[in-house]
Amino acid sequence: MEAIKNFINACAVPSRMFPVIVLLFFFVFPVNSFFEKYNKLFFLDRLWTKKGGIFLFSTLTMFLSIGMLDENFRHTVSKPDNLPIVGLIYASLFFLWVALSQARENDLRLEKNEKPKEWHDSQEKILVWPDLVSIELIAMLFALGFLFTWGILVDAPLEEPANLATSPNPAKAPWYFLALQEMLVYFDPALAGVIFPTLIVVGLMAIPYIDNNHKATGYYTFKERKLAITIFLFGWIILWLFMMVIGTILRGPNWNFYGPFEYWDPHKVEALTNINLSEYLYVIGLNMGLPGNIFIREAPGIFLISLYFIGGGFLLTKTVFKNLFKSLGPLRYSFFLVLLLFATSLPIKMTLRWLFNLKYIVSIPEFFFNI
């Protein structure tokens, strides 16, 4: 048991877990025929059958309940703050399964040139009032009852009066902000606190204007909207839910990483010393001091960033997104590309931090400008 726990703890280090999860993601949600082949080969498409659902549910439950035997795991998971996260893992898994199992069924039908299942829905008209509204009312009452029960059974974790001079250790944002807080570990506050959240909201609002694929209107499918669904789920599962879970369960005192079964030792020492790209280049690479001129100092970083946005964008357009460019048209496509490049910059920066202890690519603290 101890060995298994230690193994899981060792795997949970983000620099190991993150690449695995990302890779797994693409096999589970195959965006092209290459991944699709392996998806079939490893029976990953079966996850969205009834049996697959039962498998997912019972694996998760088993992991949680066996994990609960461990004191440290129990401590983090059963904290009143963290209960929503456990609920969230179950709920998002459930809804993912519901959507994708229907999509899978329809995809199989479409392959056989049949109409999707929703096609056979009854054509009878139903009124919003009272048919829909009454159902909503009932759902609302249930939700209210649930929240009341929860509020009565589990006490809100109140702490001592706030004091400017002491931040709780670890100081955690409310659970729904934990992904943002996790993002702040890798970025300057202006970027992770203002620009990225704005882009997330703007990007979500822009989806209906960018997406002009009219297939799959009114029915679930994966195969007809591979790219759209994969991009959305990547943002949702990896960049939002996964980071939230990291922030809740794996971040302990001093915002250090702790494995799920690891004791939250406030004196855990981790070598995290990180340095800027300019220091890498000038001090370590060229063995000289940092240039006094800010722009010469940061030129390599600025160059890399522009290379990423211009060169990377160009490359993507010429290769994988060739058809997309044609179907979206230049304006929509450029919005799409910019949003996508911003979104992928997040995991890239995280990986750079883990692999090379890179603090900032462009770092101009003189003007509060750091990327």
Partner 1 sequence: MSKEKVTRRVFVSWIFLGWTLFLACLGGLGTMLLRYLFPNVLFEPSQSFKAGYPENYAVGEVSLLWKSKHGVWIVRTAEGLYALSAVCTHLGCTPNWLSGEKKFKCPCHGSGFRFSGINFEGPAPRPLERFKILLGDDGQILVDKTKKFQQEKGEWNDPASFLAI
Q: Residue numbers of the site for partner 1 (CB under 8 A)? A: 163-171, 181, 184-189, 193, 253-256, 267, 269, 272-274, 359-360, 363, 365-366, 368, 370
The residues that bridge with 27 in the sheet, in sequence order, are none
Closest CA to 69 of 2, 159, 137: 2
Structure tokens at 251: 């971040």
Strand pairing category for 363-364 and 369-370: antiparallel
Alpha carbon 327 to its chain centroid, in Å, reads 28
Question: Nearest distance from residue 133's CB to partner 1, in Å?
Answer: 39
Return the number of other C-beta atoms located less than 10 Å from residue 264's C-beta.
16
C-alpha torsion angle, residues 260, 264, 270, 274 (rounded to 10): 80
Going 210 to 211 to 214 to 217, the CA torsion angle's sign is negative
| Residue positions counted in the chain | 371
Pairwise CA distance, residues 2 & 8, whole Å: 10
Return the number of other C-beta atoms located less than 10 Å from residue 47's C-beta.
18
Asked if the peptide bond before residue 174 counts as cis, ω within 30 degrees of 0, the response is: no
Q: What distances in angstroms separate CA 180 from CA 46, 174, 183, 197, 246, one per listed residue?
A: 33, 10, 5, 8, 11
Closer to partner 1 by CB, 45 or 262: give it: 262
Structure tokens at 46: 């079966």
Closer to partner 1 by CB, 102 or 181: give it: 181
Question: Nearest distance from residue 113's CB to partner 1, in Å?
Answer: 54
Closer to partner 1 by CB, 165 or 205: give it: 165
Question: Nearest distance from residue 334's CB to partner 1, in Å?
Answer: 30
Closer to partner 1 by CB, 223 or 268: give it: 268
Return the number of other C-beta atoms located less than 10 Å from residue 45's C-beta.
19
Closer to partner 1 by CB, 124 or 366: give it: 366
For 361, the 3-state DSSP assignment is coil
Q: Return the DSSP state at 164.
A: T
Closer to partner 1 by CB, 82 or 276: give it: 276
Q: Is residue 341 within 8 Å of residue 263, measured between CB atoms?
A: no
